[in-house]
Structure 1
């Protein structure tokens, strides 16, 4: 095709587009009607006004671009179109629905362009090239605008999800503070406060890839009961969960590289709060002890440690001063601590302790004597203090 013919096609395209400008409103209305016929759900969602505003703004931008001879990439997406896209997200229209509306709209536009060329381009030799030129322009614009609007849609959807999560979390904090009633919680959250609850608190570890905490919480809840849990995203790294069950079963693992705390089952609004406090304390102790990702810590295993470790610095000092050399991080010190703890738990019976440890009772006696020498006192002296230090060293990992 010669340069002169190219110039003639562009000139004819500009002429046809200029001839269409006076009917801009009619073109936009026709586009909306075509979209509405193919998407009746727009009327159900009161989204036709958004479609109308978008169709007018896009039609105006397309016609002026064709008149000027612009390239599709030069067509600016108007603020009105961006606002309408965000509003479509707020009306609950899916991304697929928005993109389908654009495809329907451009289909109508291509048909309308063909009729306009037939009406305003008397040169039969130019008619087909002008139709093709305009159609190519429209389809190229559709591809470009789809990318722009997809990004806008995604940003708005993420913003709404973030704000929804924050609002939901703030309401749950009011529940925990006792500032709501059972009926309001049922209405706002769809959760029954009057039943039994097992609370979980999940957190991403400080290092490593962030995990989908909400889906992980639902998976853990499903292992306890088929009933739907209440899952609340508190921040990007923390999720709270309440499982409507009285099952006291302990979750063996998180099933994902996250840390989790689990509370005891408890009933009613106060049980909702108590089990949550326990789960949070279990998680705090797990973090203090440096437990690995994938661990579920049950409150029953750390209740004493939780009580004694509200000030970790004081707790560490207590363990170090009480155990002395036994607080070392060596394998020998660990073995002596374990032997002493089992010896106390067996009521000071060497044979019973040996049976539990799988060693001869004389071995237990030898180790207890070793521990006494390192402590500088008989194990029976200040026994409560010593047992507590051993417990904290084991549960919190407070060894040097």
Structure 2
């Protein structure tokens, strides 16, 4: 880096000497190809603030040398002329500083963005390999990924609605921040999809207030297997959310839809199962929705009428009436085929009874 900085100093100094000798204005000057090249090289190792600070130090040195030269060579010209010469040189140098830092900031940012894209693409490809390969050295993979694979992880998958331009990186960091203060690994895999891993073992749930995205949320997992499993769960949560046509924004937690994920890989067969088990109880009307909700609560309360009444906030006789109507709609007793009925109710609640592939 010292050699690169020295080359930039020499190229800039040569340009300054030439401009001062020939009376070239800063408006007519531009960074040389060598200076642009060295700036791009420096973008790999130092920040833009450091680069600009280096130019400020350099021009301060140049102003000092100019003032010393005026003192040495203009002692007999009178104070007025010496001041004019000093002012001319320092004004020129400060104008050049403004010009060069503005131009090089653009070159620096372009190079930094290019490097960032290359780094991001390399990490994304490494993540794909880690997720699919049976031959992964966890130490080497962690170094390439810039993320410790030996720890615990919670995976998120953030997907942008095609008509929306919600910032995926900012959204993922916002989501991760609601779970843990730890720095997440974020990888933009295409224009509308971002993968994220948060180094934590917490069961806390991410929350989202930003419009225009769907987020799938996996369970915590440990090590390489946990890295893969939590990611797979997050992908499944996104798939189920899309299948259900859930409104945006939403965070779908795998723990809430695990059964739906398992049963929904063939949506047509799943819909047929729900319809055949629930019969008329699958009616999408508000009345049908009320009866299904009551029956779900009844099963959740271990088929206790009074507990169900307390859960919903109604008299137990009302619960009995509703459950009788639910049995009529089912065409059988509400305790007959209970397992299938509970599964069908769960799938209908998670996915509706008209989910498309």
CA–CA distance in 1 between the matches of 2:59 and 2:89?
A: 11
Query: Aligned pairs, how many?
Result: 344
**Is the deviation greater in 197-206 or in 142-151?**
197-206
Distance 1:101 1:345, change over 3 A: closer
- Which TM-score applies when normalising by structure 1? 0.71
Conserved 8 A contact 2:157-2:234? no
**Is the deviation greater in 48-57 or in 198-207?**
198-207
RMSD: 3.6
Report what 1:366 is aligned to.
Answer: 321
CA–CA distance in 2 between the matches of 1:69 and 1:314?
A: 83
CA–CA distance in 2 between the matches of 1:352 and 1:115?
A: 93
Using the TM superposition, give the Cα deviation of residue 214 of structure 1 relative to its aligned residue in structure 2, in angstroms: 5.2
CA–CA distance in 2 between the matches of 1:149 and 1:373?
A: 77
Report what 1:96 is aligned to.
Answer: 49
Unaligned runs of 5+ in 1: 1-46
Report what 1:335 is aligned to.
Answer: 290
Unaligned runs of 5+ in 2: none
Distance 1:255 1:128, change over 3 A: same
Larger radius of gyration: 1
- Which TM-score applies when normalising by structure 2? 0.78
Distance 1:69 1:376, change over 3 A: farther
Distance 1:220 1:366, change over 3 A: same
Using the TM superposition, give the Cα deviation of residue 317 of structure 1 relative to its aligned residue in structure 2, in angstroms: 6.4
Report what 2:12 is aligned to.
Answer: 58
Distance 1:275 1:89, change over 3 A: same
SS at match of 1:200: strand
Give runs of aligned pairs for residues 214-225 of structure 1, distance below 5 A.
215-216=173-174, 218-222=176-180
CA–CA distance in 1 between the matches of 2:273 and 2:103?
A: 61
Using the TM superposition, give the Cα deviation of residue 394 of structure 1 relative to its aligned residue in structure 2, in angstroms: 1.1
Using the TM superposition, give the Cα deviation of residue 352 of structure 1 relative to its aligned residue in structure 2, in angstroms: 5.0
133, 143, 163: which one pairs with 2:98?
Answer: 143
Report what 2:2 is aligned to.
Answer: 48
Using the TM superposition, give the Cα deviation of residue 382 of structure 1 relative to its aligned residue in structure 2, in angstroms: 6.4
Report what 2:154 is aligned to.
Answer: 199
Using the TM superposition, give the Cα deviation of residue 303 of structure 1 relative to its aligned residue in structure 2, in angstroms: 0.7
Distance 1:302 1:365, change over 3 A: same
CA–CA distance in 1 between the matches of 2:286 and 2:243?
A: 21
Report what 1:32 is aligned to.
Answer: none
Distance 1:384 1:190, change over 3 A: closer
Distance 1:70 1:313, change over 3 A: farther
Give runs of aligned pairs for residues 166-245 of structure 1, distance below 5 A.
166-177=121-132, 178-188=134-144, 189=146, 191-193=148-150, 197-203=152-158, 205-206=160-161, 207=164, 209-210=166-167, 212-213=170-171, 215-216=173-174, 218-222=176-180, 231-235=185-189, 237-245=193-201
Using the TM superposition, give the Cα deviation of residue 339 of structure 1 relative to its aligned residue in structure 2, in angstroms: 1.8
Distance 1:49 1:295, change over 3 A: same
Report what 2:344 is aligned to.
Answer: 389
